Structure 1
């Protein structure tokens, strides 16, 4: 009878060890799977960041091309007399106060006619990491400036 109880005890012990080993292997598989998922997530975030930077650059190029097109003098036709037209340039003094968000500044610039689209300016500042580097002060800006030039001016 003692041998039977001892054999049952040994069997229970071995069964417990087997369950522990199985659980340990299962946890290790889950951990390695989530590591792959984290790597894939990090890679996707990097690609998203790259695409945002490319988009900001393209938006800047588009805005510059639109400004050049609006500021470019039209070529006179043969029947017209050649009079020189200077495109009207809008200027303003932008006053940036403590606590102003980049979206507020972009809206002021659009309202004043300095930029064509406040969303482009706000996206450019955010994508280039400049939204948090805007400095308090007064800045002379005009409509012939590109988004990059405006951003450089207000983030010195």
Structure 2
């Protein structure tokens, strides 16, 4: 008897939920604020697309104008000078990354590979070194591997 009552109650809950699901209006579709927001979003998307097209046209014109103008020599960057501090336990990778961070070298991996190829990774000395960006890998490696 109790089993039949629980089955009937469960079936009626499922039936009521289904009726409510299919008969109530979707608030997202009928809410005027949501519809207005969706219209504004669509309007902004179309304006963005127009702006992208105009930008592409402007860039095309700009590159065409640049090809007509004779190229001027590039200005050489200023020399960056900095002090590199090498602490105990620093690996060649850490040193190379520090040099790149200071602006002394452009590519830390290339410098690390340079040190590895010449078997200088274990010869790096602890200390402070005044270096600048005009130095090549060989000059830098001589400074940081030389015993003081």
Give the TM-score taking structure 2 as reference length: 0.48
**Higher radius of gyration, 1 or 2:** 2
Give the TM-score taking structure 1 as reference length: 0.45
